[in-house]
Every structure is written in C-alpha cells, then in structure tokens.
Amino acid sequence: MDMIDPFGRTISYLRVSVTDRCDFRCTYCMAEDMAFLPKKDLLSLEELDRLCTVFIEKGVRKLRLTGGEPLVRKNIMHLVRQLSRHLKSGALEELTLTTNGSQLSRFAAELADCGVERINVSLDTLDADKFHAITRWGHLGKVMAGIDAAQAAGLKIKLNAVALKDFNDAELPEMMRWAHGRGMDLTVIETMPMGEIDTDRTDQYLPLSLLRASLERQFTLSDIPYKTGGPARYVHVAETGGRLGFITPMTHNFCESCNRVRLTCTGTLYMCLGQEDAADLRAPLRASEGNELVADAIDEAIGRKPKGHDFIIDRRTSRPSVSRHMSVTGG
C-alpha cells in the first residue's frame, strides 16, 4: 500500500538525518556553541536500518542520508552497506546522501561500491578564506580533495550553494562556470529561517528572483523540465552548457508536489521541513520486535502531513519560523 497524504500526494522519498552533529559550523545553519541531541536518545544503526526498511516496504523509492554531517556518524558505512541490499533487490531506486564533502576522500570509493550513484555536496564559495569564515571550522582543500575522490570513484555530484547576500552572490557566476566545467550541476538555495543562529538572517537573505535577474545579464538561461525528484527548478545555461537549479522555499512555494518526509536520528518523523508537528517512531519501534506498531504510527503521521510551509524572513520577525536547526531534520 502506497503512503498517500490527505492532499493526494504519494510519499516516496525519505530523508534521514543520521546525526545532528557536524564538523562544520556554517554561520547560517548553526550557532557556534550548539546544544546537540543527547547521545543516549540516538537510534542505533540497526534501528535506523529497521525504520528505513519499513519505509521502503511502505513505498519509499528514494532514500537520502543527511544530517548534521552524515559521514561523521560512527560506522556510517555499515548503514549504507546494509541499506544497499534494497538497491540490489530493486525495492529502492536510489540511495544517496548530502554531505559537506569533508570526509569524502575516505568514503567515496566505498559509497560507489555500495551502489550510490549521485551525491549532493554543499559548497558556498571557492575562496579558501571565505570558506573558512562561513563554515567556521572547515577547510576548502579537504572538500576539494573529497570532490576529486568522488568524481574519480564515478559518483555524479550536484553542488548546493546557499545564496547569501554580500557573501557569495558576486561569486556565483564563477562557481557556476567551475561546476559546469567539471560536469557538475549547481543548485542555489534561499536561506531559510530555521533555528537560532548568531547573526541576523535578514542581512543574509537573498531572494533568488534577484539572483536570476542578475545572472541573466551575463548568461542565457532557458527553463527546462529537468527534475531530480526534488523542489529545484532548472535552467540550461547556454554559455556553459550546464544546468543551474533554483530552490526557492521563501519566494515560491513548491509544496503541492511534495513527496517526502524526514526522519531524525532519534526516530522523530517530520512531515514538513517548515512545520513543528512531528511523530515519535522510536517508541513504537522499540515496543515490539515486529513492525506493525511502527507501520501504524507512520500511517497515522502521513495522515496529518500538512499542506505546506510558510517561512518568513523580515525585520519585524526576529524569531525563526521553525525553532529547530536544519541539522536536526537535514537540509
């Protein structure tokens, strides 16, 4: 039985935040001094595998590991290897992950060996000093080495960059040329008001309609129907021959085609990135060795998936629309 929500949307995509911890502290994502979920509340890798398997049995066809930084979770490749059995059986169409790239040199070959074909790498600048400033703890050289390793292992890469006013807006044409020159798509994302950070988001927020207008002064962008199952709208860039995606949670709501739910590392299921409502799956998972209780809890949760999100960033709204950080539910 497919999972169908009250608005007739089929849920076929599960994103799993395997840890809320990260080896970076990107300024728009986290405060420098973050309180993380207590380790004792974490699901084990076996429990995460069991939950993912229930979702796959209920119709999930695409599964993305995210975080926090998924590749800093201890023994994460054990989970990837376990989940890859669903690729082999044909139950799952795609197993992928979103990463900051810092650990890719170590894991790229094994990811490819597990049947991962495409990954998203988050990268907001190609300037080493700016990279260190925005990530607080990151080193660009390590990420570049990770991208090289991933490409050498045959993984297709999509780069994700959060568009930040007066930080990387002027650099995005160069980033796009670089990404397309290396055969990578680039997607730009509007910053979302999730979790308290140390800075004012109003100063960082750049509506992508403005970015697109500015890019169109230099490049010929044509809308294309290309889709990867996510909310990005793509254009073809005549001058580079590559694809540029726009994810616009602030200026354009794309919830009508939402096909996803998000599981945290403590077994909490969020039916919408931009809403607080959630369902606890850890208790029903642990209450029985069979999967009936957890399957019922998933059905109940899908039955209250909301129509959409409603993010606001302006000077009158000082509190974030959603109190949890992106690292809890995964970007």
Q: Which two structure tokens, joined as six digits, stand for 52?
A: 């993912």
Establish whether 64 is an annotated binding residue.
Answer: yes
Instruction: State the Cα–Cα distance between residues 57 and 88, nearest whole angstrom.
Output: 14
Site membership for ligand SAM, residue 273 (CB under 6 A): no
Establish whether 88 is an annotated binding residue.
Answer: no
DSSP 3-state percent helix, strand, coil across the chain (nearest 5): 35, 20, 45
Candidates 12, 19, 160, 264; binder of ligand SAM (CB under 6 A) is 160
Site membership for ligand SAM, residue 3 (CB under 6 A): no
Residue with Cβ nearer ligand SAM (230 or 284): 230
Answer left, alpha or beta for residue 267, where phi above 0 means left and psi between -120 and 50 means alpha.
left
Residue with Cβ nearer ligand SAM (101 or 267): 101
**Are the C-beta atoms of 168 and 148 separated by less than 8 Å?**
no
Site membership for ligand SAM, residue 191 (CB under 6 A): yes
Q: Which two structure tokens, joined as six digits, stand for 1?
A: 């039985």
Least distance CB 144 / ligand SAM (angstroms): 15
Least distance CB 147 / ligand SAM (angstroms): 13
Site membership for ligand SAM, residue 149 (CB under 6 A): no
Q: Which of residues 94-133 bind ligand SAM (CB under 6 A)?
A: 98-100, 122
Report the greatest alpha carbon distance in the chain. 60
Q: Phi first, then psi: give them for residue 28, nearest 5 degrees.
A: -85, -10
Dihedral angle computed from the Cα positions of residues 252, 255, 259 and 264, in that order, rounded to the nearest 10 degrees: 90
| ∠ Cα 112 331 235 (to 5°) | 80
Candidates 162, 208, 269, 285; binder of ligand SAM (CB under 6 A) is 162
Establish whether 258 is an annotated binding residue.
Answer: yes
Residue with Cβ nearer ligand SAM (48 or 194): 194
Establish whether 52 is an annotated binding residue.
Answer: no
Least distance CB 297 / ligand SAM (angstroms): 25
Establish whether 21 is an annotated binding residue.
Answer: no
Residue with Cβ nearer ligand SAM (66 or 125): 66
H/E stretch holding 77 reads helix 76-88
Can you tell me whether residue 255 is helix, strand or coil?
Answer: helix
Site membership for ligand SAM, residue 267 (CB under 6 A): no
Q: Phi first, then psi: give them for residue 183, nearest 5 degrees.
A: 75, 25
Instruction: State the Cα–Cα distance between residues 272 and 262, nearest whole angstrom.
Output: 7
Instruction: State the Cα–Cα distance between residues 209 and 235, nearest whole angstrom.
Output: 13
Site membership for ligand SAM, residue 159 (CB under 6 A): no
Q: Which of 131, 128, 169 is nearest to 24 (CA)?
A: 131
Residue with Cβ nearer ligand SAM (122 or 259): 122
Residue with Cβ nearer ligand SAM (231 or 331): 331
**Are the C-beta atoms of 197 and 27 separated by less than 8 Å?**
yes
Establish whether 29 is an annotated binding residue.
Answer: yes
Establish whether 89 is an annotated binding residue.
Answer: no
Least distance CB 8 / ligand SAM (angstroms): 28
Candidates 22, 175, 271, 301; binder of ligand SAM (CB under 6 A) is 22
- What residues make contact with ligand SAM under the rule CB under 6 A? 22, 26, 28-29, 66-67, 69, 98-100, 122, 160, 162, 189, 191-192, 194, 326-327, 330-331
Residue set of the binding site for S-adenosyl-L-methionine: 28, 68, 122, 192
